[in-house]
Structures are given as C-alpha cells and as structure tokens.
Copies of this chain bind each other. A is one copy, B any other.
Amino acid sequence: MKDPIPRATVERLPVYLRCLDELSGTEWVSSGRLAAMAGVNPAQVRKDLSYLGSYGVRGVGYDIENLRNQVERELGSCRVAIIGAGNLGAALANFDGFTERGFAIAGIFDLDPEKIGTRINRLRVEPLSALEEAIDERGVRIGIITTPPEAAQEVANRLTEAGVRSILNFAPTILQVADSVDVRRVDLSTELQVLSFYLTRS
C-alpha cells in the first residue's frame, strides 16, 4: 500500500509505539495482543500496519524491534520551541517523553522579566523578542503555545510569520491561522467536558 495513510491511522501510530514500549523481553507480538493493549480491533491493527509496508510474518506476528523502527521512521521528529514558561510550559520542558521520541526542545520563551534567565531542565528561559531569530537559526519546525489565552493569537501570528507551519496549542482559545498552517489543539477542559457528558448518561 503506497496510498496516503489515513488520518485516523496516523493518530493511532503513537499509541502503538507506547504499547511496544511496554513489551520488553519478548521479540514478537501478534495483532491480537497489540490490539488488546491499545484497545482496538485486531483487524484495525493489521490494516494500520499494512500502510507501512508488510512487516508481519504470517503465523507468527510482528518483529517488535523492526516494527518500532518502521513506525518511528514514519512519524519522524524535529525541533520544537515552547512559548510560555508558566506551569504548563515548565511541565512540558521537563517531560522526558519528547526526547524519548526524538524531539529536541530548541528553546523556551517568555515575556516575564522575572522568568527570563531562570533554568528549566537545563534550558535557559529566553525573552520572547528572541523568538524569530531562534526559530531561524536553530531550525525550529513546531511551536508549542502555553501562554495565557490573550497572548496566544499574537504568538501564533509570529510563529507563522517566522515560517513555522505546525502549532500545538495548549492555550484555551481558538486560533485563526492560514490554511497552510497545521494547528492541533489540546484543551484541558475540553477533555474533562467530554468525560463529564458521558458520566451523566450511563
């Protein structure tokens, strides 16, 4: 299959990667096992993995090491900048999961003079005015917005202007960006509200 990988599949690949993390000691895994861990249908797993090419062995399953490499290669990785050195920005900068997945945090930026110069996980907090230069010089390709909501749109504009095409937005606001920019929103209270909805009717 050399056709484009469905969006839904792309969103499951990181989940499979997490499951593979927890399968140390074994060499092979079947679609059934992986499906049980990820909470999906076995046929789904097989179809998803078939988009990467055919790496399974019939009658046996998938070579874990090989599979991990394939999935990681497909997802790729790159340099990111965090804008907003508040609680959430600090949490992200301290989060080892990024480095484990091959992402490098190229810088963390803030407006607050009291925060500038302090260190978070070996990174020095830099002034927001240094953002554009850093993006350019360090090859940043993804911006992570963890500012208060009032500042988020302005930061998104600056990121776009500086050539960043992918934004992960944690600020509780809806960003307006050009079509060429890919924004993923993580709204902490959105997730809570969806849980809450299903709570009242089951």
Known contacts A94-B87, A198-B182; is-contact A18 B173 (Cβ 8 Å): yes
**Interface of A (DSSP majority class):** helix
CB pair A39–B174 under 8 Å, yes or no, is yes
Residue A24 lies at the interface, judged by CB distance under 8 Å to chain B:
no
- A164 to B174 CA separation, bound complex (whole angstroms): 31
- On whether A18 and B196 interact (CB within 8 A), knowing A38-B174, A90-B87, the answer reads no
Choice from B10, B100, B195, B196 contacting A189 with Cβ under 8 Å = B100
Contact (A174, B87) CB under 8 Å given A101-B192, A189-B98, A196-B78: no
A interface residue count range (under 10 / 10 to 19 / 20 to 34 / 35 or more): 35 or more
**Hey, which bits of chain A sit against chain B, CB under 8 A?**
10-11, 13-15, 17-19, 22, 37-39, 74-78, 80, 86-88, 90-92, 94-95, 97-98, 100-101, 103, 141-142, 144, 165-168, 172-174, 176, 182, 184, 186-200
